[in-house]
Amino acid sequence: MTEIVLQTTNLSKRFGGIEAVKNLSLEIHSGEIFGFLGPNGAGKTTSINMICGLMAPDSGEVLIHGKSIRGDGGITRRVGVCPQEIILWERLTCFEQLEFIGEMYGLPAKEARRRSDLLLAEMNLEEKRNAQARTLSGGLQRRMNLIMALVHDPEIVILDEPEAGLDPQSRVRVRQFIQSLARRKTVILTTHNMDEADRVADRIAIIDHGELLRMGTPSELKRTIGEGDVVEIRLAGDASQRESALAAAKALIPQADARLDEDLLTVRMLDAVGHLPDLMERIRDSGARAADMRIRENTLEDVFLQLTGRRLRE
């Protein structure tokens, strides 16, 4: 078992009448990529802000290597944070701001300069070394935002929605970069993008309305909602015909998990391909018609849907 680097115990935070985070308890291990998955407003950023010391919790505690971060600036300097919004000094060049923030974290000037050049190279930003941040494109600014969190070589890196607003090219580059950090550093990332979480994270905590709903590896989480594949059928027909189609699907395969979301019938079952002809026939008999159909594997979206009854993007 790897060492626990970061631990939260019953972390809670209220904003007026809204409980943004409720009794969040986590253990994050050294060298893992840990994902916070949840829709916008789920409490991910509030949790992150408490973990990195930007916000004081109403109750609970954050421990890094078993030591509380409360009042200990030295410990939180071992954390690097890439905030969700782009935070750069517009009129400083890429190199200047890396060097400056490195020095603010206590790096000697020479080391700050060395680390700045290294990170610019790693993120393919050498050509923009002497460009002021305000002249960079949105994608390049996001890349800069990311490496600003790393200049002081922190042990724990927190990335809040690192792929938000990225163009495809930058998204690939950032994802590769995050994966390159694995094992060297402990990475905590928040996202509402299930694909990002699935591909990048070793373990995921699903959070909604400030509550931790489930935690585990992506495959563990997907297994919790059942084995097998998912058949998605978009139905044509009126509401009663669609309800009849749902009932027919449930009658055909009682052990399957069947749901109707407006005109989308979702059936999770073992041997989906084998059952498909019968299922289509039953739907036809119910008076509805399949306008579109696909078979796919379970996703984290399904896990979230089962846990909350809502989709991540709703």
Q: How many CB atoms lie within 10 A of CB 76?
A: 18
Q: Select from 18, 40, 85, 121 the one that contacts another protein (CB under 8 A).
A: 85
- Helices of type H across 182-238: 194-200, 218-224
Q: Contact between 54 and another protein (CB under 8 A)?
A: yes
Q: How many CB atoms lie within 10 A of CB 152?
A: 21
Question: Interface residues for another protein in 146-185 (CB under 8 A)?
Answer: 148, 152
Q: Contact between 56 and another protein (CB under 8 A)?
A: yes
From the CB of 37, what's the least distance to another protein, in Å?
Answer: 23
Total of chain residues touching another protein, rule CB under 8 A: 27
Q: Select from 27, 58, 65, 92 the one that contacts another protein (CB under 8 A).
A: 92
Q: Contact between 114 and another protein (CB under 8 A)?
A: no
Q: Contact between 77 and another protein (CB under 8 A)?
A: yes
Residues 84, 160 contacting (CB under 8 angstroms): yes
Q: Select from 27, 61, 103, 111 the one that contacts another protein (CB under 8 A).
A: 103
Long-range contacts of 290-293 (CB under 8 A, 24+ apart): 290/233, 290/234, 290/235, 290/236, 291/234, 291/235, 291/236, 291/263, 292/233, 292/234, 293/231, 293/232, 293/233, 293/234
Q: Contact between 89 and another protein (CB under 8 A)?
A: yes
For another protein, give the closer residue by CB, 103 or 202. Answer: 103
For another protein, give the closer residue by CB, 92 or 307. Answer: 92
Taking each helix axis from N to C end, the angle separating 109-122 and 138-147, rounded to the nearest 10 degrees, works out to 130
Q: Contact between 55 and another protein (CB under 8 A)?
A: yes
Q: In what order do the strands lie in the sheet with 186-191?
A: 79-82, 156-160, 186-191, 33-37, 203-208, 211-216
Which phi and psi angles does 216 have, rounded to 5°?
165, -175
Residues 265, 232 contacting (CB under 8 angstroms): yes
Q: Contact between 63 and another protein (CB under 8 A)?
A: no
Q: Select from 83, 162, 218, 228 the one that contacts another protein (CB under 8 A).
A: 83
Q: Contact between 129 and another protein (CB under 8 A)?
A: no
Contact set with another protein (CB under 8 A): 52-56, 73, 76-77, 79, 81, 83, 85, 87-92, 96, 100-101, 103-105, 132, 148, 152
